[in-house]
Amino acid sequence: MQSSEILQQIENRWHNAYWFSRMLINKDKYVALGKENKLLSTIASSLRIIAKTNRNSSDTIILQKQTLRNLIEDRYKKTLSTKIRVETLLRELDEMILTVEDMDVFILTCENIMVPLNDAIKNIPSDDKEFTENIAKSYLDVQGEKGLATVINLWDDLGVKGCLTAERTEITRAFTALRILLNKDLTVSDEDRDIVLSGFTQEFERRAGQKRKQRAGGSLEDVTDFILDYYNIKCAEAPVHFQADIEVDNWVKTKDSWLIGISCKRTLRERWKQVSSAESSILSKFKIKYIFHVVTYDEDLSDEKLTLLGGHRHIFYLPDNSRRLEYALNHIGLKDYVRPISEFINDIRKEIK
């Protein structure tokens, strides 16, 4: 590609479809008006009407810019805290939109990128539990407590796959609608169309990625909640001022009013050597009887981890068919610290009844 062609591509006004979409959603520098579908539709419709009623008029872009300013200022006139951000947005839009053709890109961004994007993102689940709970319940209904390891292992995978499938459905629907619209417009070249579609996809992925981050992190706690709720085991409040180096998902009060901390994890990767330095006397101070760890991928659960943590009243529940479980149960120095996952619920019941 020659330098002149590269420059022409860089200067292509349709690149602004992406930058407009970023500006409209930015709430730190601007005011994130791009989240308001009604306002976006009003802006796009108003600007389009002016373009139609003032076709070939030299005043068209001036009228459009003033209308855009009036609509945005009117929307935020009662929120003084946004004044500087509104002015920044209007100033930068004024610098980017110089012609009627530039305004056409802005209109398309509002109407055919931002509104469909907002709808698509809204339709993606914020919580993956809806994809996991019914399937997990089926495993426990059929397999009982022997299905616990399977449920814990599948929980993340089912939720992630379900949400990603929803993402795929939404982007395919919105992408197709935008592509059809662009194909119908004979003034939009193949290159212009590709620029808009790639910008749309890039912005969708960025916002969908933010939603994935919001979903992440709570999944393991969710599976603990689900399991305890399924077996009608009531959760207790965490001990006041107790700071655990190992994350504890839930607490259960025993029949003698002490507590058992419960942690469900695929692997135990915390700084366990530092954790082990907290003697069991600390647990006693806060009336913590045990910490139960349900670990489903246990190959990195070394003898040293088991003995150091086990000596401080940490009990590890491992898959019934685990090689590490069989080894530890037959080891005189480890057998007191490990149990099959299938005994997890029964052990809790013994402590609370």
Same domain, 44 and 123: yes
Same domain, 179 and 237: no
- Total residue count of the chain as it appears in this document: 353
d(CA 176, CA 102): 24
Same domain, 187 and 262: no
The answer to whether position 185 is within a domain reads yes
Same domain, 179 and 283: no
The answer to whether position 224 is within a domain reads no
pTM for the model: 0.63
- Strand 250-253 versus strand 259-265 pairing type: antiparallel
**Domain-terminating residue out of 152, 185, 218:** 218
pLDDT higher than threshold 90 for residue 12: no
d(CA 250, CA 292): 10
Token pair in block for residue 89: 């947005």
d(CA 15, CA 242): 53
- What pLDDT score does 96 carry? 93
The single residue listed with the structure tokens 């119908």 is 184
pLDDT higher than threshold 70 for residue 174: yes
CB 165 within 8 A of CB 127: no
The answer to whether position 92 is within a domain reads yes
Query: Domain of 293?
Result: 233-352
Same domain, 164 and 199: yes
Structural domains counted in the chain: 2
From the number of C-beta atoms within 10 Å of its C-beta (0-12, 13-18, 19+), residue 107 rates as: buried
**Domain-terminating residue out of 189, 218, 247:** 218
pLDDT, average across residues 271-285: 67
The answer to whether position 237 is within a domain reads yes
- What pLDDT score does 93 carry? 95
Same domain, 212 and 343: no
pLDDT, average across residues 273-292: 77
Same domain, 152 and 209: yes
CB 246 within 8 A of CB 263: yes
pLDDT higher than threshold 60 for residue 250: yes
d(CA 205, CA 316): 39
Token pair in block for residue 21: 């979409």
Same domain, 266 and 170: no
Helix, strand, or coil (residue 348):
helix
Same domain, 207 and 346: no
The answer to whether position 227 is within a domain reads no
Lowest-pLDDT range of 202-211, 217-226, 246-255, 259-268: 217-226
d(CA 48, CA 309): 68
H helices, E strands: number in the chain = 16, 5
Same domain, 204 and 238: no
Residue among 338, 313, 33, 322 at smallest CA distance from 150: 322
The answer to whether position 226 is within a domain reads no
The answer to whether position 114 is within a domain reads yes
Phi, psi of 28 (to 5 degrees): -85, -50
For the chain, the maximum distance between any two Cα atoms, rounded to a whole number of angstroms, is: 91
The answer to whether position 325 is within a domain reads yes
Same domain, 201 and 332: no
From the number of C-beta atoms within 10 Å of its C-beta (0-12, 13-18, 19+), residue 320 rates as: middle
pLDDT digits 0-9 by tens, 28-68: 999 999 999 999 999 999 999 999 988 778 899 999 999 99
Phi, psi of 339 (to 5 degrees): -150, 155
Radius of gyration of the chain measured on its C-alpha atoms: 29
